Structure 1
Amino acid sequence: MENVILLVHLLLALALIGVVLLQRSEGGGLGMGGGGGNVSTGRSGTTALGKLTWVLGLSIFATTLTLTVIAAQNAGGSSVLDRITDDRPAAEESSPGLDDSGDGLLPPSAGDDAPLTPTAD
């Protein structure tokens, strides 16, 4: 259920982006632009794209609230801090696969009996 609502939320967001980009720019910031419409109030008439923007915006708001409620129910009243314990795993003294002498990482010295190149038998 949560995935379906999340998918709808994503599609609504993409549709809102598209609708906003389709609208005509009025110039000026913070509603200071203008254009046709009612001269006495300074507000332009509502267009179909404007109404669709409001519907999509309110729909995104509703899906956001729904997803928040679902996430709160799935949390089950537990916190991340509740899952932290004081028992920490003990660190291993030596790494597996290495010599305890510490010479395992050093190159062989010239006096070693082991050949440096593999021999074919």
Structure 2
Amino acid sequence: MEAVLLVVLLLITLAMIVVILLQRSEGGALGMGGGGGGGAGGGMFTARGTANLLTRTTAFLGAGFMLTCLALAVLASQTREPTSILEQAPVTAPAEPQTDEPTVPVSE
């Protein structure tokens, strides 16, 4: 189930990237963004119609992205076993290295 949700999440992510990159820039200061060059017509693919379509698509993809992420988080939390720090084995300090030389007390 998690693998299926991961694939769906990746597809939604790629679709969202494409839809966001297709949207017209609002800045327009550099003359980029594909201005709507003359011509009348109230069809679906006018500048306003495409902007509305892309905005709605982005919103739906964003909602799908959030729901998929939440579903993955819930599935991942259910398959994990709860652990306690208190039940783990204590960590002991490493022993000092032993040498073959005998230690001789130094007298002052």
Return the structure number with greater relative CO, CA threshold 8 A, min gap 6.
Answer: 2
Q: CA deviation at 1:83?
A: 7.1
Root mean square deviation of aligned Cα = 2.9
- TM-score w.r.t. the length of structure 2 is 0.58
Give me the identity figure in percent: 42
Give the 3-state SS of the residue equivalent to 2:90 in structure 1.
coil
Q: Number of residues paired by the alignment? A: 82
Q: CA deviation at 1:76?
A: 2.6
Q: CA deviation at 1:77?
A: 2.3
> Computing the radius of gyration over CA atoms, which structure comes out larger, 1 or 2?
1
Choose between structure 1 and 2: higher helix proportion.
2
Moved over 6 A (4+): none
Per-residue CA distance 1:19-45 (angstroms, 9 max, x = gap): 0000011118xxxxxxxxxxxxxxx77
Unmatched segments (≥5 aa) in structure 1? 29-43, 95-100, 102-121
Change (3 A) 1:82 1:18: farther
Unmatched segments (≥5 aa) in structure 2? 29-47, 101-108
